[in-house]
Structure 1
Amino acid sequence: MRGVWHFSFTVADLDRSVAFYRDLLGFTLVHRQEQDNAYTRRLVGHPDAVLRVAQLAVPGQPRGVSTHDLELVEYVRPRGRPRDPARHLPGAAHLALTVDDARAEHARLAAAGVTFVSPPAEITAGVNTGGYACYFLDPDAITLELVQPRASVAGRVYAQNDHVRRPDDHR
């Protein structure tokens, strides 16, 4: 393994999901395309597959070989049924997003109608003690997480990535 190219979520409505990740969460839309070709059908294992795809990036993150971090895929054909999104089921996944202030982001997103599993909770055990975190859901009930690292961890991360604004930087 040499690195992570991207991660992907299958969504019911690509336009709705792009709006959520771009407009509410601040991702940048990098590229959109329809995939209606033999390669895609072989890749996904569906002989009649037609996909709509959007690639998004987290602003300010270093870019490697890939130009994006998140890929959203809508299967135009074959259409799928929603699955049980319960977090405790094997195969369930979530995406954790780092924020400067989990409580402020929670309030902003909740005011926009985003569904939360819980408000931000102080992390009181484990390697992330001193931070805050909470789970919330995207339009397809995919679990996402807001994580506010404890100050000492956030300071180290921001020092390593000096192009990213530090929580205490009020420029």
Structure 2
Amino acid sequence: MSGWIPFIGYTILILVVVVLNWSRFHKFWQRITIIGASAYLIILCRLCLTPIVFNFMTANRNLRYFHGVPYNLIAFQQIDMEWFLNIVMTIPFGILLYLCWPKLHPLTALIIGCIFSCFIEGNQFVCDFLFNIGRVADIDDVITNTVGALLGFIIIEWLDHTFLHKIIKPFTLN
């Protein structure tokens, strides 16, 4: 049961931030963006910070251990379905970055995506150490999550320069 503490804590934090900032956004479509962002972050916490009974890893990796907590610092040991799922998982983060800051430079989005990915993997490591949630902090996940975030940012930025601009604009928070 204690393995769910990180998820519950982050869910409460996300909801508190949404409630405290709700009045800043008066437009319906901006509130849809806020609801979507909070739902995405809660789902991401569920996917990354809760105990697992199964593992997506399809082959053994050369893992290291710190007090019984597994981690991988050797990149590209294998490219498997987990690689692509991590990219897909963080594409919405890149889209949300653009909706929050449409004038953000792609290099800055790359850096924010990398920091966010390190935050996820760092939390997995710490939460596995403290609560034994059965996660592996993996450098491949940092790379693929960063690529996914950048890809999402670039896709929505490109779409915003097409005829879809009028559809995307109301969802931006700036």
TM-score (structure 1 length as normaliser): 0.34
Query: Which structure has more RCO (C-alpha within 8 Å, separation ≥ 6)?
Result: 2
Structure with the higher helix share, 1 or 2: 2
